[in-house]
A and B are shown apart, each in its own frame.
Chain A
Amino acid sequence: QVQLVESGGGVVQPGRSLRLSCAASGFTFSSYGMHWVRQAPGKGLEWVALIWYDGRNEVYADSVRGRFTVSRDNSENTMYLQMNSLRADDTAVYYCARDARYGSATLNAEYFEHWGQGTLVTVSS
């Protein structure tokens, strides 16, 4: 079965860096796009970044562009999120999610089909 396991969260001071990992199993990792989605305490979900199945394209939310970098190692079935210049408003549980998409004559559907359990990042002095 599909399994996504995030790691690397913790407490970090403002301005510092942290790298999150998402270990995937149960599917052909190199065939799927992957996302990072975060949820601040008591708030709704916020999409953060997408990386294509082959790692050749990345898309970011405005709130993290230029500070966060998503990457993947298909030989290790792992996706990463390098977070630099962290701010207090980056405090959140960070989830990785597997992309799914299909198309027809009338619709191109895309959704987050599988999610991990999340890892908490707290930015505080």
Chain B
Amino acid sequence: DIQMTQFPSSLSASVGDRVTITCRASQSISSNLNWYQQKPGKGPKLLIHAASSLQSGVPSRFSGSGSGTDFTLTISSLQPEDFATYSCQQSYSTPYTFGQGTKLEIK
């Protein structure tokens, strides 16, 4: 199975900050990497697919980059509604696997 490692596991930031979350795969997954946002008590929401493609309706302050084994999710200017948990997921091969999540908290 492909292992996905995210860091940091938690992050404190302020409104307006630029934030970057990193995800590393245990083997090359090309660009088969997706990012999700999850708020307490809710199902995940797709933000980015295929490493860098912004899902329709997602604000442009979210962006993704990377290929192979190393990927990043960047939020250019944090908004109050962005405080949530973010997870990466590889779709290169089954079983599909997720990172352990990064909890983004208000400083």
Q: A115-B43, A116-B43 are in contact. Are A109 and B89 (CB under 8 A)?
A: no
B101 adjacent to A110 (CB under 8 Å): no
Name which residue of chain B comes closest to A61, CB basis: B95
- Number of chain A residues close to chain B: CB under 8 A: 26
Name which residue of chain A comes closest to B56, CB basis: A113
Overall SS of chain A's interface: strand
Any chain A CB within 8 A of the CB of B87? yes
Give the most central of B41, B55, B94: most A CB within 10 Å: B94
A110 adjacent to B30 (CB under 8 Å): no
Shortest CB–CB separation between residue A77 and chain B, in angstroms? 18
- Number of chain B residues close to chain A: CB under 8 A: 26
Q: How many contacting A-B pairs (Cβ < 8 A)?
A: 68
Any chain A CB within 8 A of the CB of B46? yes
Query: In the complex, what residues of A have CB within 8 A of residue B32's CB?
Result: 107-110
B87 adjacent to A44 (CB under 8 Å): yes
Overall SS of chain B's interface: loop
Shortest CB–CB separation between residue B37 and chain A, in angstroms? 11
Q: Which of A45-53, A67-75, A84-92 contacts B (4 or more CB under 8 A)?
A: A45-53
Any chain A CB within 8 A of the CB of B63? no
Query: In the complex, what residues of A have CB within 8 A of residue B53's CB?
Result: 109
Q: A107-B50, A116-B43, A117-B43 are in contact. Are A46 and B98 (CB under 8 A)?
A: yes
Name which residue of chain B comes closest to A65, CB basis: B95
Query: In the complex, what residues of B have CB within 8 A of residue A95's CB?
Result: 43-44
Which residues of chain A in 47-67 are interfacial with respect to chain B, using CB atoms and an 8 Å cutoff? 47, 50, 59, 61-62
Name which residue of chain B comes closest to A99, CB basis: B91
A113 adjacent to B44 (CB under 8 Å): no
Q: Mark A93-107, 1 if CB is under 8 A from B, else 0.
A: 001010010000001
Q: How long is the Cα–Cα vector from A118 to B53 in the complex, in angstroms? A: 26
Q: A109-B32, A112-B89 are in contact. Are A47 and B45 (CB under 8 A)?
A: no
Q: List residues of chain A with CB under 8 Å of any chain B CB.
A: 4, 35, 43-47, 50, 59, 61-62, 95, 97, 100, 107-118
Query: What 7 A-B pairs have minimum CB-CB distances, sorted nearest first?
Result: A115-B43, A109-B50, A110-B91, A47-B96, A111-B49, A45-B98, A111-B34
